[in-house]
Amino acid sequence: MLEHAYRRRFRQGLSVRSFMLARLQRLYPLYALAFILSLPFLLGQLAAGAPDRAQTILGLLCSALMLPTPDPAHLDADLYPFNFAAWSLFFEVAANLLFAALGKRLDTKSVICLVGGFALALVVCATMGWLGFGIEADKRGVLGGGPTWETFGAGVIRVGFSFFAGVLVYRFYETARLPAARPGFAISAFALVTAILALDFPSSLDLALSLFSVIVVFPLAITICARFDPPRGAFANMMQTLGLLSYGIYVLQVVTFHAVEACARHLEVQSALVGLVAIPVVAAVAYAATVFVDVPVRLTMKQALKGLA
């Protein structure tokens, strides 16, 4: 997406500052909304006597600024203790900064070198258990890592590979001029990715198959699906809506799930269905937040920050 939107603008002289301000306008409004919605839970922790009040207050301040919370006493602490999902946003912003710093100098050969380097680092570090890979394998899979301080290095490699692989996929998509993908191919690619994410690989093959999926299967599947042009109508509208809501769903999922869980406890409901109920609630919250908060706030920020670009 960023490659499509900004490559030509970098060639025309777009500055790093202007690019990063644009990314701030895109990412911060819904992140800030998630933080504000989580405040009742956080203040409740303080009122109830949080075990480490100073650390909780530090977390509040850092979270408000979209920064990770330092916690040298606990290496397994989350970078974003109040919105777990925000860890990848931090790494994405870092990747965005590198992307902007390289700007028009980032030719395709350089992208291939970056993707190859990160892929090699991913294979070696995941195999050897370096930089935090494997520490959270029971919770987040053999390639999990990045949300906590002890797996920070794994996050750098994961996001570095995925970000620049996305840039490379787009450049291939743009220059190869491949024919449009048939619906059957696109559906098969989507089904394959879904199956890989849903199923557990045998433990003896888990690492190898996970690496193959991430480095080979997923980029190919994305390339195929990108070549699929859905027919106009309800299906195309649904795809557009899902794309519109994707960021809101991601950044608001944690606080919304907490709210649904709190309601379930208050109503003394104990059922696995609570999780299923939370899914449409998250989608509805993301839709309302995108339409009524994100879009107008971004327009306001664009006007307010115009002089700084």
pLDDT tens, 42-70? 777 666 666 677 888 898 899 999 999 99
Distance CA 127, CA 146 (A): 16
User: Quick count: other Cβ atoms within 10 Å of Cβ 130?
Assistant: 14
Range from 176-180, 200-204, 227-231 carrying the lowest mean pLDDT: 176-180
Structure tokens at 34: 């998630």
Helix pair 53-64, 16-47: axis angle to 10 deg? 150
- Read off the pLDDT of each residue in 152-162 and give the average, rounded to a whole number: 96
- Please say whether the beta carbons of 27 and 298 come within 8 A: no
What residue ranges do the domains of the chain occupy? Answer: 107-228
Mean pLDDT of the chain: 89
- What's the pLDDT band for 237 if we cut at 50, 70, 90? confident
Structure tokens at 32: 């800030």
What is the DSSP secondary-structure string of 255-307? HHHHHHHHHHHHTT---THHHHHHHHHHHHHHHHHIIIIIHHHHHHHHHHTGG
pLDDT over 90 (residue 94): yes
Q: E strand or H helix at 309, and its extent?
A: none
- Please say whether the beta carbons of 62 and 69 come within 8 A: yes
Distance CA 219, CA 86 (A): 23
- What's the pLDDT band for 234 if we cut at 50, 70, 90? confident
29 or 13, which is more confident? Answer: 29
Residue 290, classified by CB atoms within 10 Å of its CB into exposed (0-12), middle (13-18) or buried (19+), is buried
Helix pair 2-11, 152-176: axis angle to 10 deg? 80
pLDDT tens, 102-122? 887 888 999 999 999 999 999
- Read off the pLDDT of each residue in 279-308 and give the average, rounded to a whole number: 90
pLDDT tens, 117-138? 999 999 999 999 999 999 988 8
- Read off the pLDDT of each residue in 70-85 and give the average, rounded to a whole number: 89
Provide the percentage of residues in the chain whose pLDDT is more than 90.
53
- What's the pLDDT band for 148 if we cut at 50, 70, 90? very high
- What's the pLDDT band for 10 if we cut at 50, 70, 90? confident
Q: What is the model's pLDDT at position 50?
A: 64
Q: What is the model's pLDDT at position 51?
A: 67
pTM over 0.85: yes
Q: What is the model's pLDDT at position 52?
A: 76
47 or 144, which is more confident? Answer: 144
CA torsion through residues 178, 182, 187, 188, sign: negative
- Please say whether the beta carbons of 143 and 158 come within 8 A: yes
- Please say whether the beta carbons of 178 and 186 come within 8 A: no
Provide the percentage of residues in the chain whose pLDDT is more than 70.
97
pLDDT over 70 (residue 280): yes
